[in-house]
Amino acid sequence: MADIPAAPQEGGPNQREMLFLTQSDGAGGLWATLLSAVTSELINGQRVGVMHVGVADEDNVAPATTVTTYNIELTLANTEYSQALPSNCKAISFRCRSSEDVRFAWVTGKVAAPTAPYQTLKANSEYWKDGVFMSGALYFASAVAGTVIEMEVWS
């Protein structure tokens, strides 16, 4: 592994040291990834840091304190229904109460007459997403009238 350069400073009011991870690409070149460090120090001439990669910074994100359950009835077949997510949504799960496929999307206008991009929750399965950190809505449709979506949201 190549030497890690001295950490430059990230701009903005909450300046945080930055680290580079470099590695040979096998063809004589190098690729590098810029990572934001939570803390770092110089050890034996190398910059070493503790980082959160792919997860939220726990110092800045409070744990979920509320779980809300929704039952979303898709009264008509092939008709779009929506469920607003609470502000500060952190995790979400949903399933179909009966054994039906359900189409869902994060944007409107995609599920009634299926138009990409949308996703399919297959019968007898559950969707789970942690680390959502958003608000907005989810949109659902089913080919079967009267389908009920059971949803849990943590905020």
Quick one: tokens of 51? 């980082």
pTM above 0.85, yes or no: no
**Max Cα-Cα span within the chain:** 67
Question: pLDDT tens digit string along 5-59?
Answer: 444 444 444 444 454 455 555 665 545 454 554 556 667 766 665 544 444 444 4
The residue among 138, 68, 142 whose CA lies nearest residue 99 is: 142
Higher pLDDT, 52 or 126: 126
Higher pLDDT, 90 or 25: 90
pLDDT at 27: 61
pLDDT at 153: 94
Question: The dihedral of CA 144, 146, 152, 153: what is its sign?
Answer: positive
| Residue 63: pLDDT band with limits 50, 70, 90 | confident
36, with CB counted inside 10 A (0-12, 13-18, 19+), is: middle
What's the mean per-residue pLDDT of the chain? 77
Quick one: tokens of 50? 């503790």
pLDDT at 132: 80
Sorted by where each starts, the structural domains of the chain and their CATH numbers stand as 1-61 (no CATH), 67-154 (2.60.120.770)
